[in-house]
Structure 1
Amino acid sequence: MKTNKLASNVASPVTNKGKKLRMPHTFVIILCMVLFAAVLTYILPAGEFERVEDANSGNTVVVQDSYQHVEQNPISLFNLPLAVVQGLVSASDTVFFIFIVGGVFQIINSTGTIEAVAGRVGKTFMNRGLVIIPIFLTLFSFGGFTIGMSAEVMAFVPIGIAIARALGYDALTGTAMVMLGAATGFTAGLLNPFNVGIAQSIAEIPMFSGMWLRAIILVVLLIATSFYIIRYAKKVKKNPSSSIVVQLEKEEGHKNIDMTSLSSMKVNHYLTIIAILAGFGFLIWGVSEKGWWMQELAAFFLALGIIVGFLSKYGPSKIASEFVAGAKDITFGAFIVGLAKGIVIVLEQGHVIDSVVNGLAIMVDHLPSYIQVLGMYFFQTIMNVFITSGTGLAATTMPIMVPLADLIDVTRQTAVLAYQLGDGLSNCILPTSAMLMGSLAVSKIKYQEWVKFFWPLLVIWLVIGGVFVIVADIIHY
């Protein structure tokens, strides 16, 4: 499966005096940033920090107060294509890791296990009232924090809407309890290889380490989101005219799906679930005890996909064809990583990346530590508007944020946390989000109606994120 951050870039039409303005494709934005990086090599003074290997962590760290000017080496326009290719080559381990994981998740998705589980939960709790909201949120959060489910949730939105309407709520409630569940899981990213995994690999810290705090964040986000949706759902049930999508309910409310037609659990679905749970347990062991990195993780996922395929009675050719389909669908996200690496290549070859880091460190050095980490958090949130690929955002910003964190005495784990929260929390309001726009298209909810419903919750989410990055800094997470 793919994450929203790895799905195709979705342009957002904005009408202005009869003309449609669209957000440029993410590839265009990244390449413009490569060009801007080249311009910086002519403007900024060249300089470098001394770097040494930390005896305790084994990480390559920046030596404070070691910045010194070096000979200028501006990058010409003619060398930019080579820098982009060098970025792809340099990030090849991450690029192929994404291809493999995307292919494997497509194998898992093709088994119908997720649809079957959603159908089973829906039928079981169909008449349980408001309890269905936290249950669905929790269910889809599992998809978010393990396999990075995001854009795929649009396929389950009709189930959520059908259940919500049957219980006296509206399409907005049904859409929210599916989509926001995946969003909270994706943001918490306990075992998400696409955001946390790649950011931690760039930061040179153990893959999926620090999971305990991310688990707490997930629980807090789920509780806050559950109460918010429940409050809205109760209001709608008491007074249907108070629904934000009241016009849609008048037109579509009578339409529903037959719950008995939903997929039922079969033997291969149970076997797939067991294999995935056992596999992720094995993954945690390998990462924590054996120090698995990109190559080992890629091999693990490849083996898991083959096992799941055979458990579903797929032949080798079927497994291969599903794998290729998944890898094909995830090409956008894989290439984004390589293109974003081109930015770093240009800054490194021009000897100005450390000049950027040094300048930022000087700017924030005398600020209180909580202001520093909040600045990192909001910087990532703003960058997420322009770079909608989570892996691309990590590849673009983490090479700058990691040495900055070293200089201002913020832990690298906290820097990763600031990235993942800044990357994930705003996805459910950005019109460039494939998950959001796809789900709204399926549900027939207007974007402005969704914004009216969601913006107070977004504020709550952002505050929660800010509190957690401050806490992480205080405890030296």
Structure 2
Amino acid sequence: MKKKFALPDAYVILFIILALAAVLTWVVPAGEYERQETDSATIVVPGSYSQIDSSSAGLLDVFLAIQEGMVAAAPLIFLVLIIGGSFAVIESTGAIDALILKTIEKTKNKELVLIAGVMILFSIFGALGIVVNAVIAFIPIGIILARSMKFDAIVGVSIIYLGAYSGFATAFLDPLTTGTAQQIAELPIFSGVGYRVVIFSTIVLVTMLYIFWYAKKIQKDPSKGVLSGNPFPKVDKDAEVDGNKEMTLIHKLVLLWLAVGIGIYVYGVFQHQWGLNEMAAIFLVIAVGTALIDRITPNNLVAEFFNGAKGLVYGALIIGMARSIVVILENGKILDTIVEGMAMLMTPFTSATGAVVMFIANELFNFLVTSGSGQAVIVMPIMTPLADIMEVPRQVAVQAYKMGDGFTNIITPTSGVLMACLAVAGVPWTKWAKFVAPLLLIWTVLGAIFLMIGVWMGWGPF
């Protein structure tokens, strides 16, 4: 009997990419740019690339990179575990099930209205740069929503993740990505926002319609879904939400406490530049507060917390595995060489075509550097003079970077946030890639059109 072909696990895929990156350190010449320290960032000096002594990766370096990747990604890894544990405590109270049932009751036979409302909310958060990493915390809610509406985990992830990242793909008011890129390009911060809102609205609408189409397809025939036969891999097939669960005062207090906690974090992000560590601390406070509200004993709190956390170990560690690929490229001193190669490829192009090449190059580069602000610091000092040479408005160059960075976040296995979200939902990356690849193609075509229009209309300033 022939063995059925099985697609490789996400860890296998990432290790193959890691091994290829190590091989590249032997093939690609080592090099680096000169960098200047400024008040807000470390800026690459255009035209300063030079080759340096090779630092090729050996066999042990490959495995050292995994450890270094885990260490570098530790804040995000532990954040995922803490969120998983905290949500397990919240779910043990029955508050979320009660909320979802109430929501479903209010939107009976209006599933698409519910999906649209949640997606619009998260797309606005994404456009403001609020839920870039925090989106992980809301995936369990998306899964419960999708399950209650008889869809699958793909829809659950999409409502939250694609909702947020369709907004983040343009991020017209995000100070860390669009703001940083405009500052490096010497443009007024958040200038050109009108056209960006048009792009944002179009991308969000197209994403919503794509999810509607998939949801309706599997509603008619569940076997048509990419997770057919196992629509919710992380949920017991026999488990169902208790349809008789009432919304009690305890449930309302638990949900209010959750909302207050998240609200405090959002306030801290804007007022005090809070990061991942503060987010983890807030969720620990949420878990403890929930236990006090529902009178959960300390021992039961610990048990519920670790039951939730241990289910996310797979997804948490894969974040470090993804980070190891960047580690091997940085240690091998070939990351700047790859950027320089991209710059040379873009030089012969002019005007609208050049803008599209910038965009595609950034989409590809995002597979290596998934940090939006990190990518801005690396590529914008190169793209700004290139834009001037190719007679491309600098505003277009910024948008080429932003969409290039934002679009491929929804598919790249080197994105720790994406892999963590999929792990929370139990969705294999290979299945997700099959679902989301057509949407990425649609986004890319639309992005290219918007950039060409930007060139033709002389999108300013300069």
TM range (shorter): 0.5 to 0.7
Secondary structure of the residue aligned to 1:20 is coil
**Within-5 A mapping of 1:215-254:** 223-224=205-206, 245=221
- In structure 1, C-alpha distance between the alignment counterparts of 2:447 and 2:278, rounded to whole Å: 31
Structure 1 counterpart of 2:263, from 273, 277, 281? 281
- In structure 2, C-alpha distance between the alignment counterparts of 1:419 and 1:406, rounded to whole Å: 15
Change (3 A) 1:265 1:456: same
Change (3 A) 1:87 1:73: same
Change (3 A) 1:261 1:285: closer
Change (3 A) 1:117 1:406: farther
* Paired position in structure 2 for 1:43: 27
Number of equivalenced pairs: 394
Matched, 1:185 2:175: no
Matched, 1:100 2:82: yes
Matched, 1:159 2:148: yes
Normalising by structure 1, what TM-score?
0.65
* Paired position in structure 1 for 2:42: 60
How big is each residue's C-alpha offset from its partner over 1:341-361, in whole Å with a ceiling of 9 and x where there is no partner? 322222222222211111122
1:119 Cα shift?
Answer: 0.8
AA of the residue aligned to 1:160: M
Is the Cα–Cα contact under 8 Å of residues 279 and 304 in structure 1 kept in the other structure?
yes
**Within-5 A mapping of 1:24-423:** 24-55=8-39, 58-126=40-108, 129=109, 131-139=110-118, 147-148=135-136, 149-150=138-139, 153-161=142-150, 180-188=158-166, 223-224=205-206, 245=221, 261-367=243-349, 368=351, 370-376=355-361, 378-379=363-364, 394=370, 402-409=377-384, 415=401, 418-423=404-409
How big is each residue's C-alpha offset from its partner over 1:34-62, in whole Å with a ceiling of 9 and x where there is no partner? 2222212211111111112223xx21121
Is 334-343 or 44-53 further displaced after alignment? 334-343
Change (3 A) 1:356 1:350: same
How big is each residue's C-alpha offset from its partner over 1:354-374, in whole Å with a ceiling of 9 and x where there is no partner? 111111222124544631453
Change (3 A) 1:311 1:462: farther
Secondary structure of the residue aligned to 2:370 is helix
1:95 Cα shift?
Answer: 2.6
- In structure 1, C-alpha distance between the alignment counterparts of 2:176 and 2:291, rounded to whole Å: 26
* Paired position in structure 2 for 1:388: none
Is the Cα–Cα contact under 8 Å of residues 85 and 342 in structure 1 kept in the other structure?
yes
Change (3 A) 1:104 1:179: closer
1:437 Cα shift?
Answer: 9.8
1:321 Cα shift?
Answer: 2.3
Is the Cα–Cα contact under 8 Å of residues 88 and 305 in structure 2 kept in the other structure?
yes
AA of the residue aligned to 1:406: P
Is the Cα–Cα contact under 8 Å of residues 41 and 377 in structure 2 kept in the other structure?
no
Secondary structure of the residue aligned to 2:4 is strand
AA of the residue aligned to 1:404: V
Change (3 A) 1:361 1:152: same
* Paired position in structure 1 for 2:171: none
How big is each residue's C-alpha offset from its partner over 1:266-296, in whole Å with a ceiling of 9 and x where there is no partner? 2222223222322222222211121222333
Is 174-183 or 111-120 further displaced after alignment? 174-183
Normalising by structure 2, what TM-score?
0.66
Query: Kindly, what percent of the aligned residue pairs are identical?
Result: 24
Q: Which runs of 5+ in 1 are unaligned?
A: 1-16, 162-170, 191-195, 237-242, 249-256, 384-391, 441-446
Secondary structure of the residue aligned to 1:33 is helix
Is the Cα–Cα contact under 8 Å of residues 85 and 304 in structure 2 kept in the other structure?
yes
- In structure 2, C-alpha distance between the alignment counterparts of 1:312 and 1:219, rounded to whole Å: 41
AA of the residue aligned to 1:23: L
